[in-house]
Amino acid sequence: MQNLTISTQPIAGQKPGTSGLRKKTSVFMSRHYLENFIQSTFDAIGGVQGKSLVLGGDGRYFNDRAAQVILRMAAANGAARMIVGQGAVLSTPAASHLIRLNRADGGLILSASHNPGGRDADFGVKYNMANGGPAPEAVTEAIFARTQVIDSYRVIETVDVDFMKIGAQQIGKMEVLVVDPVSDYARLMESLFDFPKIRALFANGFRMRFDAMCAVTGPYATEILENRLGAAKGTVTHGTPLPDFGGMHPDPNPTWAHELMDEMMGADAPDFGAASDGDGDRNMVVGRGIYLSPSDSLAVLAGNAHLAPGYRAGLKGVARSMPTSAAVDRVAAALGIASHETPTGWKFFGNLLDAGKVTICGEESFGTGSDHVREKDGLWAVLLWLNILAERNEPVVEILNGHWRRFGRNYYSRHDYEALPIDQAEAVMGALRTRLTMLPGTRIEGMIIAAADDFAYSDPVDGSLSKSQGLRILFEGGSRFVLRLSGTGTEGATIRLYLESYVAGPEGLDVEVQEALTPVIRAAEALAGIRAATGRAGPDVVT
């Protein structure tokens, strides 16, 4: 065993995005690339001497090798303890919980979330803070700054840790504690939800399908749904995590989870369906014959959370990302609690959660969570839905229709234009941005523009200001569209177009979504000209 200091030099492009650093797997496997970023992370957080960290990932290709490298570097940098999921695997919400449960100083999560996995696909690394949440912008900027000047990194030369052996091992003076990745998380879920009530639901013939998409949630869903709650064996499909996700795109939306959608829309559909993503922090929920947008799901969960034991005291407030529909705001108003609108990125919810200002948060990109951890949590959302279904004894479609009758309906959809040339995508955004001040008062497609801006957010807890978070065009009556560039891809640029049309009811609550949004879709193309500028016939993904 030998401590080494390896000379290196800066590598361009190591700037973390909203969810850490994501690149092609082959890039992370290239000489010094991972090591530079990890050493820069350690340096930017003031070193890891004497600290305790959590480590795990979604099991995608290169996960285990990257974990071995990180352990050796942590030991060489003086870390006291590393808590690692068995197999170097942890779902993102489980990692967040382990950080909080063990009062660790932070954690490293190896994942590119919903992006495809494999040697020719994507990989990622992000650092989470002691609260269990993603590093804030000040930290990610410090990491990036360090990557630009790094000249060496430290590593111990030693044999591999046995990731399959539960218990303590040593690398030099550093303890490596390999833990069951599921058990602590499952106990947390039992403390929040009425497991006996949900178990009775399944015992009475309730049928469910959960598509784990060959990703990390498979073992968690199998243990909780089938083993602890008594769902029929086979309820969890694609339940074995694979390095390439079995060739699947582990993004739980109607496009990529098409097997689940086909089954739920079929003649003999189960009562309830759900899917989760690569690292377990996203969810899609489907009823028999009906798909729920993430925005609607968030609103229904907020309106019914009091039915679960962990939330019977009521909600302190709710928060949503700016592109997410305003449906949950209407629930908050009815409950007499605050609602917050933040930029995209779960890290923006962290301050609100830590300050006790909100209980439930959500993003339109299939992410929902609460103050039980500091990450979105796909399986948590599914279990809350099951608790609500068990208490209300109504099918999903009746719960959703009742919600719309009470609050009105926010028709909502997201259109993604993926892998565009970066200059082309930026030109679309820039052209609309220059016109924002001239748009209020303009009539288009029968609607009048009430306001237009480039969204900025002033954090009510620490006063930090985040600018240029997305272009908003708001119409009188509650309809709108939003344009923003995504920060989760590894090549090119993705323009996300968010479309929303509000109908108060009682009429007009059962129109097909894209039909209801037609005027807003046309207005967005007339004003932003995405198709005209890119030559695309339409979006690549519609959710």
Residue 483: CB atoms within 10 A of its CB come to 23
- Residue 147 buriedness (CB in 10 A; 0-12 / 13-18 / 19+): buried
Q: How many Å is the maximal CA-CA distance in the chain?
A: 73
* Parent domain of 438: 409-542
Q: What residue spans of 102-221 are helical by DSSP H?
A: 137-147, 183-192, 195-203, 217-221
Which one-letter amino acid corresponds to residue 40?
S
| Active-site residue flag, 413 | no
The pLDDT of residue 137: 86
Whether residue 520 sits in one domain with residue 415: yes
Is 487 a residue whose pLDDT tops 80? no
The pLDDT of residue 453: 96
Is 86 a residue whose pLDDT tops 60? yes
DSSP secondary structure letter of residue 282: B
Catalytic residue (one of 40, 91, 113, 295)? 113
Whether residue 210 sits in one domain with residue 153: no
The pLDDT of residue 233: 97
Where is the domain boundary, 382, 407, 432? 407
Tell me the average pLDDT across 121-142.
95
Q: How far is CA 243 from CA 58, 219, 257, 531, in A?
A: 9, 15, 18, 35
* Poorest-pLDDT segment among 27-36, 86-95, 413-422, 435-444: 413-422
Tell me the average pLDDT across 156-175.
96
The pLDDT of residue 538: 92
How sure is the predictor about 327, in pLDDT bands with cuts at 50, 70 and 90? very high
How sure is the predictor about 492, in pLDDT bands with cuts at 50, 70 and 90? confident
Phi and psi at residue 410, to the nearest 5° = -95, 90
Which one-letter amino acid corresponds to residue 254?
P
Dihedral of CA atoms 88, 93, 97, 98 in degrees, nearest 10, equals 10
In tens, the pLDDT along 20-65 reads 999 999 999 999 999 999 999 999 999 999 999 999 999 999 999 9
How sure is the predictor about 491, in pLDDT bands with cuts at 50, 70 and 90? low
Whether residue 223 sits in one domain with residue 315: yes
User: Under a CB-based contact definition with an 8 Å cutoff, are residues 475 and 449 in contact?
Assistant: yes
The pLDDT of residue 17: 83
Q: How far is CA 323 from CA 182, 214, 434, 455, in A?
A: 32, 29, 20, 10
Is 490 a residue whose pLDDT tops 80? no
The pLDDT of residue 486: 80
Tokens representing 497 are 């177009």
Whether residue 264 sits in one domain with residue 292: yes
Q: Give exposure, 183-196, as e/b (b: 16+ Cβ within 10 Å).
A: eebbebbbebbbbe
pTM of the model: 0.93
The pLDDT of residue 211: 98
Which one-letter amino acid corresponds to residue 352?
L
Where is the domain boundary, 361, 382, 407? 407
Tokens representing 1 are 């065993």
Whether residue 286 sits in one domain with residue 244: yes
In this structure, the strands spanning 52-57 and 106-110 are: parallel
Q: Please tell me whether the peptide bond between 506 and the residue prior to it is cis, using omega within 30 degrees of 0.
A: yes
Q: Could you write out the DSSP letters of every residue in 55-98? A: EEE---TTHHHHHHHHHHHHHHTT-SEEEEEEEEE--HHHHHHH
How sure is the predictor about 510, in pLDDT bands with cuts at 50, 70 and 90? very high
Whether residue 489 sits in one domain with residue 421: yes
Angle between helices 327-335 and 294-304 (to 10 degrees): 10
Whether residue 398 sits in one domain with residue 297: yes
User: Under a CB-based contact definition with an 8 Å cutoff, are residues 154 and 77 in contact?
Assistant: yes
Q: Which pairs with CB-CB distance under 8 Å and at least 24 residues apart come from 478-482? A: 478/326, 478/410, 478/502, 479/447, 479/519, 479/520, 480/520, 481/520, 481/523, 481/524, 482/322, 482/323, 482/455
Q: Residue 516: which CATH number? A: 3.30.310.50
Where is the domain boundary, 407, 428, 451? 407
Three-state DSSP at 303 gives helix
Tell me the average pLDDT across 434-462.
95
Helices (H) and strands (E) in the chain, counts: 18, 27
Whether residue 98 sits in one domain with residue 65: yes
Q: Count Cα neighbours of 454 within 13 Å in the Cβ-side half-sphere.
A: 14
User: Under a CB-based contact definition with an 8 Å cutoff, are residues 484 and 344 in contact?
Assistant: yes
Number of domains in the chain: 3
Whether residue 232 sits in one domain with residue 160: no
Three-state DSSP at 512 gives coil
Q: Could you write out the DSSP letters of every residue in 467-484? A: ----EEEEETTS-EEEEE
Distance CA 280, CA 506 (A): 37
Average pLDDT, the chain: 95
Distance CA 244, CA 58 (A): 11
Distance CA 492, CA 35 (A): 25
Whether residue 389 sits in one domain with residue 308: yes
| Strands, sheet with 272-276, edge to edge from the N-terminal-most edge strand | 236-237, 208-211, 272-276, 283-287, 290-291
Tell me the average pLDDT across 518-525.
97
Residue 532: CB atoms within 10 A of its CB come to 11
Tell me the average pLDDT across 525-541.
93
The pLDDT of residue 345: 84
Distance separating the N- and C-terminal Cα atoms of the chain: 52
In tens, the pLDDT along 383-430 reads 999 999 999 999 999 999 999 999 999 999 999 999 899 999 999 999
User: Under a CB-based contact definition with an 8 Å cutoff, are residues 414 and 498 in contact?
Assistant: yes
Angle between helices 294-304 and 396-407 (to 10 degrees): 80
Angle between helices 378-392 and 183-192 (to 10 degrees): 30
Distance CA 363, CA 355 (A): 20
Whether residue 64 sits in one domain with residue 108: yes
Q: Count Cα neighbours of 278 within 13 Å in the Cβ-side half-sphere.
A: 29
Q: Residue 279: which CATH number? A: 3.40.120.10
Q: Give exposure, 365-384, as e/b (b: 16+ Cβ within 10 Å).
A: bbbbbbbbbbbbbbbbbbbb
- CB-based contacts of 432, cutoff 8 Å, min separation 6: 471, 483, 527, 528
Tell me the average pLDDT across 477-494.
82
Whether residue 424 sits in one domain with residue 391: no
- CB-based contacts of 507, cutoff 8 Å, min separation 6: none
Distance CA 127, CA 38 (A): 9
